[in-house]
Chains A and B, each alone.
Chain A
Amino acid sequence: MKRIIALIICALAVVMLAACSGDPAETSDTGKSGGTNAPAQTNSNDASDAVKPVFVYNGVTIEMNALADDVIAALGDPVSTYESPSCAFQGTDINYNYGSIEITVYENEGERRIYSLFVKDDLVSTPEGLSIGSPESDAFSIYGDESKTQSGNIIYNGKGASVTVTFADGKVASIEYTATFD
Chain B
Amino acid sequence: MLYTSAEFIIFAAVLLAVYHTLPRVCKPYLLLLSSVIFFASYAWYNLPFLIFTVLVTYAGGIAVAKVYERGEGEISSGEFDRETKKEMRRRVKRRAKLVMALTVTADIAVLAVLKYYNFALHNANALLHFTKNESDLFITLALPLGISFYTFMCVGYVVDVFRKKYSAERNILKVALFAAYFPQLVQGPFSRYDETGAQLWSPSDVGADALSWAFLRIAWGYFKKLVLADRVAVAVNALAGDADAYRGAYALAAVVLYSIRIYADFTGGIDITIGLSEALGVKLRENFIRPYFSKSIAEYWRRWHISLGEWFREYLFYPLSIAGPVGKASKWVKKHVGAGAAKRFPVYVATVIVWFVTGIWHGAAWNFIAWGMANCVVILISQELSPLYEKFHAKTGIGEGGAWGAFMIVRTYFLMSMIRMFDVYADVGKTFSAVGSIFTTFNYGVFFDGSMLTLGLTGADYALLAVGCAVIFAVSVLGGKKSLRERTSGRYALRVSLSCLLAVATLVFGAYGIGYDASQFIYNQF
Contacts and interface: CB of A to CB of B under 8 A. Distances in A.
B37 interface: yes
A13 B22 contact: yes
Interface stretch (A44-52, A83-91, A167-175): A83-91
Contacts of B34: 17, 21
Contacts of A109: 519
Contacts of A56: none
B17 to A, nearest CB: 10
A85 B525 contact: yes
A25 interface: yes
Interface in B12-34: 14-15, 18, 21-23, 25-26, 29-30, 33-34
Contacts of A142: none
A14 interface: yes
Interface string B84-126: 0000000000000000000000000000000000000000000
A10 B29 contact: yes
A16 B7 contact: no
A139 B26 CA distance: 69
Contact of A24 (B7, B15, B18, B25): B7
A95 B523 CA distance: 19
Contacts of B33: 14, 17
Interface residues of A, number: 22
Interface in A1-36: 3, 6-7, 9-10, 13-14, 16-18, 20-21, 24-25, 27-28
Nearest to A10: B26
A82 to B, nearest CB: 15
B523 A91 contact: yes
Given A13-B18, A17-B33, A25 B7 contact: yes
B41 A90 contact: no
Nearest to B41: A25
Interface in B493-526: 519-520, 523-526
B526 A17 contact: no
Interface string B37-55: 1000100000000000000
A74 B37 CA distance: 60
A28 B41 CA distance: 9
A6 B25 contact: yes
Contacts of B11: 20-21, 24
Size category, B interface = 20 to 34
Nearest to A86: B525
Contacts of A90: 519-520, 523-525
B6 interface: yes
Contact of B37 (A6, A9, A18): A18
A-B pairs, 8 with minimum CB distance: A24-B7, A85-B525, A10-B26, A90-B524, A20-B14, A13-B18, A6-B23, A21-B11
12 contacts: A3-B25, A9-B26, A13-B22, A13-B26, A17-B14, A17-B18, A18-B37, A20-B10, A21-B7, A24-B7, A28-B5, A85-B526
Contact of B15 (A3, A17, A86): A17
A7 B22 CA distance: 10
A21 B10 contact: yes
Contacts, number: 67
Contacts of A9: 22-23, 26
A6 B37 CA distance: 21
A147 B418 CA distance: 53
Nearest to A8: B26
Nearest to A29: B41
A35 to B, nearest CB: 15
Given A9-B23, A87-B526, A91-B523, A17 B37 contact: yes
Nearest to B526: A87
B33 to A, nearest CB: 6
B455 to A, nearest CB: 16
Contacts of B523: 90-91
Given A10-B22, A91-B523, 8 more contacts: A14-B33, A17-B14, A21-B7, A21-B11, A21-B14, A25-B7, A27-B7, A90-B520
A24 B10 contact: yes
A16 B25 contact: no
Nearest to A87: B526
A6 B14 contact: no
A121 B228 CA distance: 58
A91 B519 CA distance: 9
A86 B523 CA distance: 11
A21 B37 contact: yes
Given A17-B14, A91-B523, A10 B7 contact: no
Interface in A90-139: 90-91, 109
Given A24-B6, A28-B5, A17 B25 contact: no
A7 B26 CA distance: 7
- Most chain B beta carbons < 10 A, residue from A3, A91, A109: A91
A7 B29 CA distance: 10
